[in-house]
Homo-oligomer: A and B are copies of this chain.
Amino acid sequence: LTLPDTTRISSAASTGDCVRAVEWSDAALKLLDQRLLPGEERYLALHDAPAVANAIRDMVVRGAPAIGIAAAYGVVLAVRAGVVRHGAQWRSLIEPDLALLSSARPTAVNLAWAVERMRRAVAAAPDSDPESLLLAEARAIHDEDIAANRRMGELGAALIASGSGVLTHCNTGSLATGGFGTALGVIRAAHGAGRIRDIYADETRPWLQGARLTAWELMRDGIPVTLIADSAASLLMQRGRVQWVIVGADRIAANGDTANKIGTYQLAVSARHHGVKFMVVAPTSTIDFATETGAGIAIEERSGVEVTKFGACRAAPPDVQAWNPAFDVTPATLIDAIVTEKGVVPRPDPKNLAALR
């Protein structure tokens, strides 16, 4: 576990961070509908837990930390519904909602982690008027995520030499978290500290998180970015344009194997081939110490329609068969550093990761 010198980075906190994907307001959960970006900016107001679970499953909200935060607020809505229907016996009614929330998507561990933490708040809550305590816990999860992201931003940025080019995958910014971002938070902080020459975002097929979300978020914050097709990443590395590939994580096994958006593994293989460094940025809530290696991580497979259509446009013949794994696992041996809010783990293995428990 290392703690780099971040004294020249902390000014980066002032870098623009204008977007919030998850907000609690007017006693409802507001989610920015990320399926519609960048064409349309529309917030949905959700009033019960099943609606939150559906929004997570249908990717209205996505990104491991953001779906954990959304689920935490979803627990608040579940408890409210329990109180309305059953008064002081509200606890007897909430279990189906909690199960719905924690199983809405399978790969990211933050979802189960957030619901588990809210369960402890449920146990500690009073029989009457429990909502304020539960809302405070959900807000704490949200606020701690932003604070963790800012800390990871400082720690990760300190690893990046001045004048570096960086490539990121998927969206790991404010849209994927409570705010600021994980991998994109590091890039945001390093940009703020003047260390970045060029930021490249790959488009991240099939869901186009890079093209639709990362490009949008960075442009919104006034940070220059160049978009590339996923398959141009190796040419970029061959030409020496990037020194770091920086990605988030959906679940990190106890040995450092990292599940993340499909394509992450391909970038890690190519980065190693080219001597480009590979950084994973994730809060410690993403580490699943109960899972020994990546082999134990369930990989969600989503509908092939995400591949055969391009946004609303058809990209392939009707009825073509498609395989659409949503994640892959990058072995720890291909990772140069895992950056968490508690410190940096260089060349992760079961021993140095365990120091974060």
Residues in B whose Cβ lies below 8 Å from that of A262: 229, 231-232, 235
**Interface membership of chain A positions 229-241, coded 1 if the CB is closer than 8 angstroms to chain B and 0 otherwise:** 1111111101000
The smallest beta-carbon distance between A228 and chain B, in angstroms, is 5
Query: Which of the 9-residue segments A4-12, A176-184, A318-326 touches chain B?
Result: A318-326
Cβ-neighbour of A38 out of B229, B233, B316 (below 8 A): B316
Whether B235 and A307, one on each chain, are in contact in the complex, defined by CB atoms closer than 8 angstroms, is no
Category for how many chain A residues contact B = 35 or more
Q: Determine if A205 is an interface residue (Cβ-Cβ < 8 Å).
A: yes
Nearest-CB residue, chain B, relative to A327: B235
Residues in B whose Cβ lies below 8 Å from that of A265: 234-235, 238
Within 8 A of B (CB), among A40-68: none
Q: Determine if A314 is an interface residue (Cβ-Cβ < 8 Å).
A: yes
The smallest beta-carbon distance between A354 and chain B, in angstroms, is 26
Whether B316 and A215, one on each chain, are in contact in the complex, defined by CB atoms closer than 8 angstroms, is yes
Residues in B whose Cβ lies below 8 Å from that of A267: 231
Query: Which of the 9-residue segments A109-117, A206-214, A335-343 touches chain B?
Result: A206-214
**Interface membership of chain A positions 220-254, coded 1 if the CB is closer than 8 angstroms to chain B and 0 otherwise:** 00001111111111111010000000000000000
Residues in B whose Cβ lies below 8 Å from that of A325: 232, 235
Whether A314 and B39, one on each chain, are in contact in the complex, defined by CB atoms closer than 8 angstroms, is yes
Whether A316 and B205, one on each chain, are in contact in the complex, defined by CB atoms closer than 8 angstroms, is no
Whether B215 and A317, one on each chain, are in contact in the complex, defined by CB atoms closer than 8 angstroms, is yes
Whether A234 and B269, one on each chain, are in contact in the complex, defined by CB atoms closer than 8 angstroms, is yes
**Interface membership of chain A positions 281-315, coded 1 if the CB is closer than 8 angstroms to chain B and 0 otherwise:** 00000000000000000000000100110111111
The smallest beta-carbon distance between A114 and chain B, in angstroms, is 27
- Distance of A324 Cα from B111 Cα, bound (Å): 37
Q: Determine if A204 is an interface residue (Cβ-Cβ < 8 Å).
A: yes
Residue with the highest number of chain B CB atoms closer than 10 Å, among A308, A317, A328: A317
- Distance of A314 Cα from B208 Cα, bound (Å): 11
Whether B313 and A311, one on each chain, are in contact in the complex, defined by CB atoms closer than 8 angstroms, is yes
Chain A binding surface, main DSSP class = mixed
Residues in B whose Cβ lies below 8 Å from that of A319: 219
Whether B228 and A323, one on each chain, are in contact in the complex, defined by CB atoms closer than 8 angstroms, is yes
Residues in B whose Cβ lies below 8 Å from that of A266: 231, 233-235, 266, 270
Cβ-neighbour of A230 out of B39, B229, B238, B310 (below 8 A): B229
Q: Determine if A203 is an interface residue (Cβ-Cβ < 8 Å).
A: yes
Residues in B whose Cβ lies below 8 Å from that of A232: 262-263, 323-325, 328
- Distance of A220 Cα from B67 Cα, bound (Å): 42
Using A233-B266, A262-B235, A265-B234 as known contacts, say yes or no to A228 and B316 having CB atoms under 8 A apart: no
Residues in B whose Cβ lies below 8 Å from that of A227: 304, 307-308, 316, 320-323
A-B contact pairs, 22 of them (CB 8 A): A200-B323, A202-B231, A203-B205, A203-B307, A212-B315, A215-B320, A216-B316, A227-B307, A227-B308, A227-B321, A228-B307, A229-B307, A232-B262, A232-B263, A236-B323, A266-B266, A269-B269, A269-B270, A269-B273, A270-B270, A310-B311, A313-B313
Extra contacts besides A232-B328, A235-B266 (11): CB < 8 Å: A200-B323, A211-B307, A224-B321, A228-B322, A229-B307, A231-B266, A232-B325, A234-B269, A310-B310, A310-B313, A311-B313
